Amino acid sequence: MGQSYRVAILGATGAVGTELLELLDSRNFPLADLKLLASPRSAGSTLPFRGDMLTVEAVQASSFKDVDIVLASAGGSISKAWADTAIAAGAVMIDNSSAFRMDPSVPLVVPEVNPDAAANHRGLIANPNCTTILMAVAVYPLHQVQPIQRIVASTYQSASGAGARAMEEVKTQSLDILQGKEPRPEVFPYPLAFNLFPHNSPLNELGYCEEELKMVNETRKIFGTENLRITATCVRVPVLRAHSESINLEFARPFSVQQAREILSQAPGVKLVEDWQKNYFPMPIDASGKDEVLVGRIRQDLSNPNGLELWLCGDQIRKGAALNAVQIAELLIRKNLLKPALATNG
């Protein structure tokens, strides 16, 4: 059967944590042991896994003893608090927060795009932002054929990006509005049901929010092109768990729509969804629960002979977070970049 590995999920009870559990099961990840870690308030709760009920433990220094891989999805402050402890214990942490993404010593990895970067890890690998992952998977195959000069991205981001409570808030607000009640925002600053607003992350002096700057800076790092021109406008929309993005690409010379279609129809992690007769293209409802980034409506930019337009949808919890982290772990195993916990026979 080969080697198996000891894994800990840090932030196991959140939306991404529970998705990590499902993926470890469905992808038949080679587990020797699995620990579920969370804050003290979640300790003692149980989660189902492979026919058993696993108990969630409060994270502490001893939690990382005899662990090979930590899948962290508990937020930046928690990752910063425990990264050194986990690494010192001999584990590799794959971190889903923004804490280490722009640290020059920490690889920022999308396995379909820059798998070789993972080899440079020092015990820590960063999982990119969800919008960045989805865009990178969709546009990098084109960038490989003809380098992209400029990207203009507009995002339509689901409630799941703000966690499980945000998803519930949209449902509750929808019911309230339909019953004639006033919707009460708690997770978000404004009601999201039947509404949309620019992404609610902090703004800088130029008027760009953190989410937009993540797309700019992380894409440059992943592509290895510091001079790539990127601008983004990120918007929160009343969708539960799949993000959508409108992408305008500019090349140095024309890029035929037909060639782009052929490339993306064969690209890893991408599913081409185009029915021009029915005006049917990627939708969040179709992307939810799917591993692939759905791409379609590829067309020539009427305003620029060197421009292409495309539309994509991808599950924010899955490929935008949990799946990418599990794929990084699988990549480390495949390339023998982890010390195996033990060998099992049979």
Closest residue by Cα to residue 285 from 244, 249, 336: 244
Residue 111 lies in a domain: no
Give the whole-angstrom CA distance, residue 252 versus residue 294: 26
Question: So what's the pLDDT on residue 339?
Answer: 56
Whether residues 223 and 145 share a domain: the answer is yes
pTM of the predicted model, to two decimals?
0.95
CA-angle at 145, arms to 144 and 146, nearest 5°: 95
Question: So what's the pLDDT on residue 249?
Answer: 98
Whether residues 149 and 293 share a domain: the answer is yes
Residue with tokens 């600053």: 189
Element (H, E) at 198: strand 197-198
Question: So what's the pLDDT on residue 1?
Answer: 45
Considering its fold, how many domains does the chain have in total? 2
Instruction: Using alpha carbons, list the distances in angstroms from residue 204 to 10, 102, 156, 212.
Output: 30, 17, 21, 10
Whether residues 307 and 329 share a domain: the answer is no
pLDDT (tens digit per residue) in 225-264? 999 999 999 999 999 999 999 999 999 999 999 999 999 9
Question: So what's the pLDDT on residue 103?
Answer: 97
Structure tokens given for 330: 């699988």
What are the residue ranges of helices labelled H in the chain?
Answer: 15-26, 76-88, 130-145, 164-178, 210-223, 257-265, 284-287, 323-334
Whether residues 68 and 147 share a domain: the answer is no
Give the whole-angstrom CA distance, residue 87 versus residue 144: 34
Give the whole-angstrom CA distance, residue 107 versus residue 328: 11
Whether residues 202 and 327 share a domain: the answer is no
Residues of the chain with pLDDT under 50: 1, 340-346
For residue 67, give the CATH number of its domain: 3.40.50.720
The residues annotated as belonging to the active site are: 130, 243
Question: So what's the pLDDT on residue 2?
Answer: 72
Which distant-in-sequence residues (6+ apart) come within 8 Å of 295 by Cβ? 138, 264, 270, 271, 272, 273, 282, 310, 311, 312
Q: What order do you get walking across the sheet with 242-251 strand by strand?
A: 197-198, 229-236, 148-157, 242-251, 307-315, 293-300, 270-272
Whether residues 34 and 93 share a domain: the answer is yes
Give the whole-angstrom CA distance, residue 307 versus residue 336: 41
Q: Which 3 state secondary structure label does DSSP give 110? A: coil
Structure tokens given for 237: 């929309």
For residue 271, give the CATH number of its domain: 3.30.360.10
Whether residues 288 and 335 share a domain: the answer is no
Question: So what's the pLDDT on residue 177?
Answer: 98
**Contact in structure between 346 and 1 (CB atoms under 8 Å):** yes
DSSP state, residue 122: S
Domain membership of residue 303 as a residue range? 132-315
Whether residues 204 and 268 share a domain: the answer is yes
DSSP track, 86-109: HHHTTPEEEE-SSSSTT-TTS-B-
Structure tokens given for 231: 């601008």
